[in-house]
């Protein structure tokens, strides 16, 4: 794992994703994480190369890691990378993204 992002930054991103985008987390793990049966998902970590989730499947948490398209080098890139992943997941599932 890379230490490009301080633990506080990862915690802030996780809090935002889990509090404001819980449904998007599920879309991401279903569409790109190989866990189409997930009923819930929470962001559990992130580094410069990818984002991690704990997906709920039949009451059991399953770890899921989604790689970023490119290595991130600064905080401003995080939102762009996560939005891209969300849109890719929507496309893979054939559902329209929300704005």
Nearest one of 1, 26, 19 to 85, comparing CA atoms: 26
Q: Helix 22-31 to helix 76-93 angle, to the nearest 10 degrees? A: 60
Note the pLDDT of residue 2: 47
Domain ranges of the chain: 7-93
Task: Give residue-wise pLDDT tens across range 32-91.
Answer: 999 999 999 999 999 999 999 999 999 999 999 999 999 999 999 999 999 999 999 999
- The pTM score is 0.93
Note the pLDDT of residue 4: 84
- Identify the architecture of domain 7-93 in CATH: Alpha-Beta Barrel (3.20)
């Amino acid at each position: 794992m890379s230490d490009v992002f301080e633990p506080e930054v990862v915690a802030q991103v996780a809090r935002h994703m889990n509090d404001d985008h819980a449904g998007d987390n599920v879309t991401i793990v279903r569409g790109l994480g190989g866990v189409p049966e997930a009923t819930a998902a929470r962001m559990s970590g992130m580094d410069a190369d990818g984002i991690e989730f704990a997906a709920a499947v039949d009451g059991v948490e399953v770890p899921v890691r989604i790689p970023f398209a490119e290595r991130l080098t600064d905080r401003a890139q995080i939102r762009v990378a996560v939005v891209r992943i969300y849109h890719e997941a929507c496309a893979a599932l054939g559902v329209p993204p929300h704005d």
